[in-house]
Amino acid sequence: MTLRVLCVFLLSGWLSVSAAALPIPENGPALRIQGSNTIGAELGPALVEGLLQEQGLLKIHRETPDTANEQRIVGQTAQGQRVIIEVAAHGSSTGFAALKNASADLAASSREIKDSELLALQALGDLKSPAAEQVIAIDGLAIILNPANPLEQLNTEQLARIFAGEVKTWEELGGRGGAIHLYARDDQSGTFDTFKELVLSRRGKSLSSAAKRFESSEQLSDAVSADAQGIGFIGLPYVRQAKAVAIADGASQAMLPLNSLIATEDYPLSRRLFFYLPPDSRNPWAQALATFAQSPQGQAIVATSGFVSQTVQAMSVAPNALMPEGYQSLSRHAQRLTVNFRFAEGSASLDNKARQDLARVLDYIKRNGKTERAVTLVGFGDLKDDPARADLLSKLRAMAVRRELVKNGVVMREVRGFGALMPVATNSADEGRIKNRRVEVWVY
């Protein structure tokens, strides 16, 4: 008897049509996803389609119900049974609310879960555990202008004052065009939450009431493109016809939202996109989608959807005079991998994404024959009163990554610490200091 013709049997409300395939519910959707519009508009449905294809389903297509920002992704078994997965994309906070009231099996979020949400959902298990908190992609918040606007760069302090309504004209920024028109995502949006956290709240400011608000990323971007005086913030795939400007934070260099700078999370407005899967979930489709999203096939879908995948690649870095001499020498002879290891807040432990990245880096090193003295780790830290302490701590972080690689058979070439040099974020806020505490991986 082949796998595909095994008899159908009933188990806890799920019908299994194949020993290899996921079980199918007798009634209703196989999986309900709620949350981020950034994920739910395209990336989430595309990952679902990839999973359905992996499961061997046929006639895969999308259906759009009457409610805006909602989709059903539908497939069909060889026996003709429909498999339905529902995606509702009304903002990250709605995903956590849906987990709480059991109207969703998986939350999609374009920001990290808040402490208040973690507390409210503790009955579902620890949503900060590595199995529950899954980073599926990296995104960058692009600051977008009308293409005719000549302005090329802004810093995060200027952004805060602009969106708080304190800077009212383009002339105040050295540009032209008269009054500034503000465009922003709605309050339910993880994109707005991220902008508020990275830009506004850090400086004690709130969004101006004059800002036009949008639930749809596409509509916001198109509105800015059509307004010569407009400025908005948007997820990277939704720049569309608008113009993205370079952003600086504190003493960092101004950076455009380029894939390489977002992959390493050096770009000041980079962010992580998440699936949150309750540890006690009994829905096998939820776990299967989270696993598929982390796979090479899933990360390829991330890239084709316009986000930045977590697939590790080597990139050349051009040396410049702002780099310390040792770093310039490194950039002349080696290539940097498109990943930074970061650490859990207030801890020397690798965070959840770093644990995922460790496996990816090891795979890259082994596939490319770099296990014998071809890898250098470079640690950085935040500003300390004593530069020698900053140097020591930066090297200790690199040593923490070294231990994990050595356990897996990698013989290191060198471990270096550059202290508080080359910050990628301001050291005047906790979020910036955490971002500056990083470890880069270089290969020869």
pLDDT tens sequence across 308-363: 999 999 999 999 888 999 999 999 999 999 999 987 665 567 888 988 899 999 99
Domain 3-136+273-304 fold is: D-Maltodextrin-Binding Protein; domain 2 (3.40.190)
Domain 312-443 fold is: 60s Ribosomal Protein L30; Chain: A; (3.30.1330)
Q: Quick one: which of 336, 413, 314, 411 has its CA closest to 380? A: 336
In terms of Cβ atoms closer than 10 Å to its own Cβ (0-12, 13-18, 19+), residue 185 is buried
Could you give the CA distance from residue 59 to residue 45 in angstroms, rounded to a whole number? 15
Superfamily of domain 139-261: Periplasmic binding protein-like II (3.40.190.10)
Q: pTM, whole model, 2 decimals?
A: 0.81
Does the pLDDT at position 297 exceed 60? yes
Contact criterion met (CB below 8 Å) for 33 and 109: no
Using one digit for the tens of pLDDT, what is the confidence trace for 372-423?
999 999 999 877 767 777 788 888 889 999 999 999 999 999 999 998 888 8
Could you give the CA distance from residue 429 to residue 115 in angstroms, rounded to a whole number? 19
Q: Quick one: which of 324, 323, 326, 297 has its CA closest to 311? A: 297
Q: What is the mean pLDDT of residues 48-67?
A: 95
Does the pLDDT at position 18 exceed 60? no
3-136+273-304 and 312-443 agree in CATH topology:
no
| Average pLDDT across the chain, whole number | 90
Using one digit for the tens of pLDDT, what is the confidence trace for 197-252?
889 988 999 999 999 999 999 999 999 999 999 999 998 889 999 999 999 998 88
